[in-house]
Structure 1
Amino acid sequence: MNSFDVVVIGSGPGGYVSAIRCAQLGLNTAIIEKYSTLGGTCLNVGCIPSKALLASSHHVEEMGHFAEHGIEIGGDVKIDLQKMIDRKQTVVDQTSAGVKYLMDKNKITVFEGVGSFESATKVIVTKADGTTETLEAKNTIIATGSKPSSLPFITLDKERVITSTEALKLKEVPKHLVVIGGGVIGLELGQVYLRLGAQVSVVEFADRVIPGMDAALSKELTKVLKKQGMKFYTSHKVQSVVRAGDLVTVSAENKKGEIITLEGDYALVSVGRRPYTDGLNADKAGVKITERGQVEVNDHLQTTASNIYAIGDVVRGAMLAHKAEEEGVMVAEFLAGQKPHINYNLIPGVVYTWPEVAAVGQTEEQLKEKGIAYKAGSFPFRALGRARASSETDGLVKILADATTDEVLGIHMIGARAADLIAEAVVAMEFRASAEDISRMSHAHPTFAEAIKEAALAATDNRALHV
């Protein structure tokens, strides 16, 4: 029987990063992955492939603005969707191969098959051919991730009524894509096909899209996407999704009881994700699964079985790849006797539409709910020289700071390169910077990052310089 200090079940960003850190710390480590490629949802059917398609479709969108830059291109633009999909797959394959290289480099043993518990110290690997192998595990880390959720009355045929997985490999650009759910996944993939020529309608139960983020970001993103041609039906509850041949009919009811009917050739169901513990046999190891389907953990991410830990989408908290990575590292270091920590308030959230949306810390709505006195400062991208030079004037940066101490409590932004700019906000808040601290930092000119400095100035006695 193979014996290991640590067995990781699942090779997504949380799992493989945790395995690497365990190996770095001298622990004999194995990782189990049921699919033939490493990387989990993020690398294979999530973060990486969606960003590849967003990049390809962004080029199409940019071509529509070439003329204003004095660039003339003759003839009609031709879109080869299959070539885009093929390029996406090449990026996925390269990235997955990179994870395999890291496993080999760090001498991590990889087992292909489904990992399940026989007991708290024995993990069975069931291979595709039905054969099994038993691993002796001093410690186990559950990193099995999540799967797309649906609604009870929706039949996902994965042809016309699809999830994000199928949306990443369509054979044609939809004529009318109806997106059910106005969260990150729905908006990102909706924008991909909007750029490629599809009509896109988004149906959202909440009163605004990206409802978990600051309302100012939701308002600005909605305005920009409407300008691009996307249609929104917020405060609408989907009642039925019916397919008849190539036609999908989505019916939804608003708060007044009025029914709308949208007819499209595809319906993308993007109503969130659920923790994936199918086939894990957690009960055999004494691991408790909550009513929400999550693995129950304490502050050290330790399950109800003392030698078993869980990380990422399968436990409480935001379902983010980088959150899973941080948790994977924390567990590895805890097992090695160190005292790591994670400040969950400082894990940023990003929407990779264009303009990008990013945020860290508390929203204005959360501060109001908690009764925390705060001051706010915002600055529009249109007032930036770099933004005008780049024709990227949509967006803003908003900074929330404690009314008494001036400590930054939240930074929210929408605009070009927001996904990268948010790192400055995380660093500042990690070191408990005040709005004035940020306002006195020199920011290179002309850059998009100047919007952060100006928003900090606006939050500090309303003294932004360029508005």
Structure 2
Amino acid sequence: MYQYDLVVIGSGPAGRRAAIQAAKLEKRVLVVEQGRRVGGVSVHTGTIPSKTLRETALNLTGWRERGFYGRAYRVKQEISAEDLRRRLLITLDHEVEVLEHQFARNRVQQMRGRAQFVDPHTLEIAKSDGEMLRVTTASVLLAVGTRPYRPPHIPFDDEAVLDSDELLEIKRVPRSLIVVGAGVIGIEYATIFSALDTQVTVVEPRETMLDFIDKEIVEDFTYQLRDRNMKLIFGQTVESVEREPNGGKCRVTLKSGRSLQAEMVLFAAGRVGATDTLNLAAAGLEADNRGRLKVDPETFQTSVPHIYAAGDVVGFPSLASTSMEQGRIAARHAVGVPASEPPQYFPYGIYAVPEISTCGLSEEEVLQRGIPYETGIAHFRETSRGHIMGLDTGMLKMIFSLKTRRLLGVHIVGEGATELVHIGQAVLNLKGTVEYFVENTFNYPTLAEAYKIAGLDAWNRMGEGPKEAPVATAQPTDTGNTVSPQDMPLKPKKKAAS
């Protein structure tokens, strides 16, 4: 009846995983990508480029060795924008090659072009070579992602006043930078350029930043940023941005009347769903004021049952890792194959300098839910590996239920946080207790030893538990006046974060 079983619009993390999953189930799949190459925002302007830029900056500056050789130590004295871009291009080429090979071996058909709805089952595709054609499909997955929010009063010029996409194309590393927005993207780029010895100022209209992260971790992170002379201005809104004539400095005026100046301004205050070209009305759909789509949190179906959406376009948590799982689940539902429920906990990673990663409940959420608890903390400088690496910062925090002794949350700031968090994630999903960390052996010397140190810290405060740890499947859960650990699934919140 239809040409395809599933048409996927967008080839980012959600789109690629959905297409490959459906193809492995022997369905006819078409991926439509309007970019020059497959990969979507994640590969070309988002996840991969920003993390590659971070790694390049840390390597060329010798950031990781400064604990031994001092803050003036640098591997390369003069670091240019071309130095940063060279590694980026190599990485992107590799990512695209791997993705195209995955599509080819799974028999996923690709098409370059821009798609829009003609009716709920028909799509019109304006191909990159100018040809127009129509295709019919039983189901559609919208995985179009997001793009930077660009308010009209900000004079973007692709040179000195930039959004996060344009920042990757800079022709010089600025001596000073003002970042508007202290969300994940703004903070990541602010700390990367700070590591390049750029003088960085961050302006955020809220009184705090990264509110979904454990407050103690954010406080430690904030101290580290200010210790290296980053200026953080909270509770201030940008009134205007102007650039001096003849390529001069940029001047940012705040509503309070305060004036700031720098060589470059990065506006990173939010993103919008890339849904405006899809002609959603023809399919009976409507996006919110930020271009995002509301979906069923179990199946990722929109209000039109055979049309699905996944990834950043559905809002929180907007992670590449969760987007992949959303795409896989949506694809299985779309082709009529049941999808298993994903594990309860997933990690959240912020690739700033230093890294932050978290999984499970924060201390504030534990307090709000009324769960009796205790915490254990380890500082990286307490580990032999930390001494070897020259680390004088970094910490790992775990939260345990006093009633069941189960791990409720793990929160890390410091070198390797996004790798270390997976140990805590496994223990969370397997309903492990504090005894796991106390009784187990970790490789020596490693930063993972911090789990044992933090576990002992909590165990000493909690007192000795049962002589034999209860079997995981038979452990009681927090009930009554308490609540079981945080439900942080791969599903969007009912109300998408702005």
Same fold (TM over 0.5): yes
Contact 2:374/2:462 (CA < 8 Å) preserved in 1?
A: no
Helix, strand or coil at the partner of 1:36 = coil
Partner of 2:434: 435
Distance 1:66 1:178 in 2: 25
Query: Is the alpha carbon distance of 1:292 and 1:194 closer, same or farther for their aligned partners in structure 2, counting shifts above 3 Å?
Result: closer
Contact 1:21/1:332 (CA < 8 Å) preserved in 2?
A: yes
Contact 1:176/1:265 (CA < 8 Å) preserved in 2?
A: yes
Partner of 1:10: 10
Q: Where do residues 315-464 of structure 1 align in structure 2 (5 Å cutoff)?
A: 315-334=314-333, 335-343=335-343, 346-462=345-461
Partner of 2:490: none
Partner of 2:494: none
How far the C-alpha of 1:150 sits from its partner, in A, is 3.8
Contact 1:435/1:459 (CA < 8 Å) preserved in 2?
A: yes
Distance 2:318 2:415 in 1: 24
Distance 1:173 1:288 in 2: 41
Amino acid of the residue matched to residue 453 of structure 2?
Answer: E
Distance 2:211 2:157 in 1: 28
Contact 2:12/2:38 (CA < 8 Å) preserved in 1?
A: yes
Distance 1:320 1:218 in 2: 19
Partner of 1:79: 79
Amino acid of the residue matched to residue 400 of structure 2?
Answer: A
Partner of 2:102: 102
Equivalent of 2:261 in 250, 260, 263 = 263
Helix, strand or coil at the partner of 1:346 = coil
Helix, strand or coil at the partner of 2:62 = helix
Distance 2:161 2:282 in 1: 36
Helix, strand or coil at the partner of 1:113 = strand
RMSD: 2.4
Distance 1:448 1:333 in 2: 39
Distance 1:75 1:450 in 2: 29
How far the C-alpha of 1:37 sits from its partner, in A, is 0.7
Query: Is the alpha carbon distance of 1:230 and 1:20 closer, same or farther for their aligned partners in structure 2, counting shifts above 3 Å?
Result: same
How far the C-alpha of 1:27 sits from its partner, in A, is 1.3
Query: Is the alpha carbon distance of 1:73 and 1:193 closer, same or farther for their aligned partners in structure 2, counting shifts above 3 Å?
Result: closer
Segments ≥4 residues shifted beyond 4 Å: 72-76
Gaps of 5+ in 1: none
Contact 2:67/2:391 (CA < 8 Å) preserved in 1?
A: no
Distance 2:313 2:87 in 1: 30
Amino acid of the residue matched to residue 421 of structure 2?
Answer: I
Partner of 1:231: 231
Equivalent of 2:254 in 239, 252, 255 = 252
Distance 2:390 2:359 in 1: 26
Distance 1:132 1:76 in 2: 50
After TM superposition, the structure 1 stretch with the greater mean CA deviation from structure 2, 315-324 or 147-156, is 147-156
Partner of 1:199: 199
Contact 1:288/1:304 (CA < 8 Å) preserved in 2?
A: no
Residue 47 (structure 1) aligned with residue 59 (structure 2): no
Distance 2:284 2:402 in 1: 47
Contact 1:457/1:463 (CA < 8 Å) preserved in 2?
A: no
Helix, strand or coil at the partner of 1:164 = coil
How far the C-alpha of 1:336 sits from its partner, in A, is 4.3
Helix, strand or coil at the partner of 1:118 = strand
Distance 1:30 1:379 in 2: 49
Query: Is the alpha carbon distance of 1:354 and 1:291 closer, same or farther for their aligned partners in structure 2, counting shifts above 3 Å?
Result: closer
After TM superposition, the structure 1 stretch with the greater mean CA deviation from structure 2, 178-187 or 225-234, is 225-234
After superposition, give the CA deviation of every residue in 1:346-383 in whole Å (9 maximum; x if it has no partner).
22111112321100112122222333332222111111
Distance 2:22 2:75 in 1: 56
Distance 2:235 2:138 in 1: 50
Amino acid of the residue matched to residue 271 of structure 2?
Answer: R
Amino acid of the residue matched to residue 453 of structure 1?
Answer: K
After superposition, give the CA deviation of every residue in 1:246-305 in whole Å (9 maximum; x if it has no partner).
32111225xxxx532110121101112222211111221123424553212112101111
Distance 1:340 1:64 in 2: 41
After TM superposition, the structure 1 stretch with the greater mean CA deviation from structure 2, 402-411 or 96-105, is 402-411
How far the C-alpha of 1:129 sits from its partner, in A, is 4.6
Contact 1:302/1:308 (CA < 8 Å) preserved in 2?
A: yes
How far the C-alpha of 1:64 sits from its partner, in A, is 8.4
Distance 1:455 1:15 in 2: 39
Partner of 1:285: 283
Amino acid of the residue matched to residue 68 of structure 1?
Answer: F
How far the C-alpha of 1:396 sits from its partner, in A, is 0.7
Query: Is the alpha carbon distance of 1:440 and 1:273 closer, same or farther for their aligned partners in structure 2, counting shifts above 3 Å?
Result: farther
Contact 1:4/1:30 (CA < 8 Å) preserved in 2?
A: yes
Helix, strand or coil at the partner of 2:357 = strand
Helix, strand or coil at the partner of 1:333 = helix
Query: Is the alpha carbon distance of 1:462 and 1:61 closer, same or farther for their aligned partners in structure 2, counting shifts above 3 Å?
Result: farther
Residue 25 (structure 1) aligned with residue 25 (structure 2): yes
Distance 1:419 1:436 in 2: 23
Query: Is the alpha carbon distance of 1:112 and 1:262 closer, same or farther for their aligned partners in structure 2, counting shifts above 3 Å?
Result: same
Query: Is the alpha carbon distance of 1:336 and 1:437 closer, same or farther for their aligned partners in structure 2, counting shifts above 3 Å?
Result: farther
Contact 1:374/1:402 (CA < 8 Å) preserved in 2?
A: yes
Partner of 1:143: 143
Residue 88 (structure 1) aligned with residue 88 (structure 2): yes
Query: Is the alpha carbon distance of 1:104 and 1:239 closer, same or farther for their aligned partners in structure 2, counting shifts above 3 Å?
Result: same
Contact 1:167/1:189 (CA < 8 Å) preserved in 2?
A: no
Contact 1:117/1:124 (CA < 8 Å) preserved in 2?
A: yes
Q: Count the aligned residue pairs.
A: 458
Distance 2:155 2:384 in 1: 50
Contact 1:288/1:303 (CA < 8 Å) preserved in 2?
A: no
Helix, strand or coil at the partner of 2:461 = coil
After TM superposition, the structure 1 stretch with the greater mean CA deviation from structure 2, 449-458 or 357-366, is 449-458
Distance 1:220 1:56 in 2: 25
